Structure 1
Amino acid sequence: MILGMDTSSDTMTIALFHEGVVLGEYTTNLKKNHSVRLLKAIALLMEECGVKPTDLEKIAVAKGPGSYTGLRIGVTVAKTMAWDAKIPIVGVSSLALLAENGLYFSGKVVALMDARRGNVYAGVYQANSNHDKMENIVTDSHIALTDLLEPFKESKEAILFIGTLTEQICDTVSETLGERAIFARADTTYSQASTLVKLAEKLDGELADNFVPDYLKLAEAESKWLESRRSE
C-alpha cells in the first residue's frame, strides 16, 4: 500500500495505491494553504478507502522543485508519517510528474514552473519507444526562460510545454518558437498523485531521516544570508 502526496504548487493532490490499482485520489487546484488541508484530506481519503496507517508500506512525495512553503509542508508530513510507521519514503521530481502528462506525445516535452524574474524550473523529457515511460533527457534545473528556449530555436519539431504558466511565459515561448510550441490542455497542466504512486511503486525509497527536498535554488532570504556571511 502506497500513499502519495504533492504540495509543490497550488495543486494539492494525494492518492492511495495497492497492487496496481489506484484506490482513491483527491486533487484540488486552488490557491489555499496546504498546511491546514493536507492532513485532513489524507485522513478523509484513508477513511473512504478503508485504509489504516498500519497498512501503508511506502510514502511517496513530490520532492521539488516548486513552492518553498508547499514543498516543506508535503515533505514534512511525508517524512513524519514514514518515520512514525518505519517505512521508506520515495521522492519523485515535481517536473517529472508534470512530464508524465505528455506520455503519449511523440516529441520532446518541457515541464516547467514559474520561478519569477524571467526564470523557470524546467526539465526536458521524452517518452521511450514503448510510450510507457518518460525519460529525462535534459536535467531539471533553475534556468532563465530565454536560455531554456535557445537550443530549440533551430529545431523543426513540435515541442509540448506542460505547467501552469503565466501569460508572460506563454508569450515568450510563442514568440520564440512560433507554431512549433504546443501548450498542454488545462486539465493536464498540473500533477496527479495517481501518477506519483505508480512511479513510486518501482522505487525502493530511503529512510525518512535522510530525505531532503530538491529546491534547485535557495530561497531569496537564504541566498541573502549566505551572501552576507561571505562578505563578513
Structure 2
Amino acid sequence: MFLSMDSSNGYSNLLAADENFNILSESISDFHEKHSVLIFKQLDEIVYKAGIKLTDLKGIAVILGPGSYTGIRVSLTIAKTLSYVLKTAVVGLGSLSVCAYRAAKENSGLEKIIAVCYASKDRYYVSEFSSATKYFEGQIKTDLLNLEEIRLFLNSMEDKPLLTYGFNNESDCSFIEDKLKKAVSGLLFLDLKDTPYFAAKYTIERYKINGDNIFNEQYSEELSPYYVYGNGPF
C-alpha cells in the first residue's frame, strides 16, 4: 500500500493506493479542527476503510507546497515520522511538479510544460518544466507573477508550451483560459484535490523501478516545505 498526503491548499486530503494505481480509500476534509488532530483521524479512517495496517505501507508521498505553511508542516512531520518508524520510503513533491507530471503522462512529446496555481492577491505560482528531466520533475524556474507577467513570459518563449493549471475553484478555469489561451499550445486543468493520486502514482512508479532502495533516511530528514517569494523558491 502507498499513502499520499496533501494539506497545502486549504483542505486535507489523504489517499491510499495499491501498486496497480487503484485507490483503496480516500479522505478529504476542510480544516475544521487542529491540523494534527484532523490528519491523524483521516489516517485512521483510510486505513480502516481499506482494511489494511500501517505496517503494509511501502511508500509515502507528501506534497511540499507551495501553499499553507501550517498544513504542509504538519503533514510533512507526520510523513517523516511514519517513514522513520516503519522504515518505508517518503517522497516529497511540489504541487506544481505534480501538475507537470500529470500533463507529461497524458501528452507525449512535450518539450516544455508551464505549471500554474493561484497563490493570493491576484498572483500565481509559476514553474517551467523541461522534458530533459525525467517525469518533468526538475524545476527550471519558479516565481510569483500576476497574469500580465505570465502572459509576457509565455509570449517570450520561442515555442508555445502546454500550460497546466491547478485549481481549487473550477470557476477559475474559464478565466485563465480567456486570459492565456492565445499564448500557449494547449491548456490542461487539474483539480488540486487530485494531486494525492498523481503523487501516489509517481511514487509507485519509482518503487517499481527501485524497490526498497527508494528508502533514504537522509533524504527524508532533509525534506522541507516549499516556499516561493517574488524572487524564486527556497
Partner of 2:73 in structure 1? 72
What CA deviation, in whole Å up to 9, does each residue of 1:36-77 have, x standing for no partner?
432212211111112111111322111222221221121121
Distance (Å, rounded) in 1 between the aligned partners of 2:221 and 2:160: 44
**2-structure distance, mates of 1:172, 1:20:** 34
Which among 175, 186, 195 is matched to residue 192 of structure 1? 195
Larger radius of gyration: 1
2:117 paired residue among 101, 113, 116: 113
**Which of 200, 216, 221 is residue 209 of structure 1 equivalent to?**
221
Give the corresponding residue for 2:126: 122
Structure 1: gaps spanning 5 or more residues: 219-232
Partner of 1:226: none
Q: TM-score, normalised by structure 1?
A: 0.71
- Indicate the residue corresponding to 1:83 in structure 2: 84
Q: Tell whether the 8 Å contact from 2:18 to 2:24 is kept in structure 1 after alignment.
A: no
CA contact (8 A) 1:153 1:176 kept: no
- SS at the partner of 2:227? coil
User: Normalising by the residue count of structure 2, what TM-score does the alignment of the two structures yield?
Assistant: 0.71
CA RMSD of aligned residues (A): 3.5
Deviations 1:121-163, CA, capped at 9 Å, x for gaps: 22234779xxxx7425752513323444323225674743412
Counterpart in the other structure of 2:46: 45
Contact kept? 1:14, 1:194, Cα under 8 Å: no
1:214 Cα deviation (Å)? 2.0
Spell out, residue by residue over 1:158-189, the C-alpha distance to the aligned partner (whole angstroms, 9 max, x if none). 7434122788997587446547586545xx32
- Give the direction of change, closer, same or farther, for the CA distance of 1:196–1:33 in structure 2 (3 Å limit): farther
Question: What's 1:160 paired with?
Answer: 163
Question: d(CA) in 2 for partners of 1:31 and 1:127?
Answer: 36
Aligned to 2:210: none
What CA distance in whole angstroms lies between the structure 2 residues aligned with 1:91 and 1:138? 14
Quote the Cα distance in structure 1 between the aligned partners of 2:196 and 2:70: 19
Q: Distance in 2 between matches of 1:34 and 1:98?
A: 28
**CA 1:143 to 1:46, structure 2 compared with 1: closer, same or farther past 3 Å?**
same
Q: Residues 23, 104 of structure 1: CA spacing in aligned structure 2 closer, same or farther, 3 A cutoff?
A: closer
Kept after mapping to 2: 8 A contact 1:119/1:142: no
- State how far apart, in whole Å, the 2-side matches of 1:4 and 1:189 are: 16
TM-superposition CA deviations, 1:87-115 (whole Å, max 9, x none): 23211121112234434347654322233
In structure 2, C-alpha distance between the alignment counterparts of 1:181 and 1:70, rounded to whole Å: 34
Unmatched tracts of structure 2, length 5 or more: 208-213
Post-superposition CA distance 1:9-31 (Å, at most 9, x none): 12432222333342424253746
Q: Which amino acid aligns with 1:206?
A: N
Aligned-partner residue type, residue 24 of structure 1: L
Q: Distance in 2 between matches of 1:68 and 1:15?
A: 21
Q: Please list the CA deviations of residues 170-210 of structure 1 after superposition, one character each: whole Å capped at 9, or x if unmatched.
A: 7587446547586545xx32133221112112062532433
